[in-house]
Amino acid sequence: MSENDASNYFSKFSTFISEFSGKPGTFVLAMFVVLVWAISGPFFAFSENWQLVINTGTTIITFLMVFVLQNSQNRDGKALQAKLDELILTSQAQNKFVGIEKLDEQELRELSRSVAERAECVEDKALDKAQQA
């Protein structure tokens, strides 16, 4: 299996898991498992092993889900960024915004401040026109 095949497999797997974990039925299943665990407490005298089962299970699932969901979010973010870049490139917007996600924190703050100032100017012009009408 090549690296590209493994990457495609993981992408498909993470998409499936992300979609599956976001369904109401999955939440109900998880609640059922916790409920069964809680009800079984008296049968196991609320022992440390009984507690360890839920702690270990939820820790392992959480640990693995971090990677799966991060992969899914990264792909979604890249796809959204590509769509936005395409809209910028095909519109009257300034092309300087293409690729700004690669700027450092200070550059992003400066660009954001500049855009906010321009937005205020546009808002002021719109209010002036509205008052003139």
First to last CA, the chain: 68
- Sign, CA dihedral 82-84-87-91, equals negative
The confidence score (pLDDT) of residue 3 equals 79
Chain mean pLDDT for the chain: 88
From CA 71, how far away is CA 69, in angstroms rounded? Answer: 5
What is the DSSP secondary structure assignment for residue 98, as one 8-state letter?
Answer: T
Residues 6+ apart with CB under 8 A from 75: 11, 14, 15
> Counting runs of H as helices and runs of E as strands, what totals does the chain give?
4, 0
Ordered by start, the domain boundaries in the chain are 3-94, 103-132
pLDDT in tens, 59-86: 999 999 999 999 989 989 888 988 888 8
50 pLDDT more than 90? yes
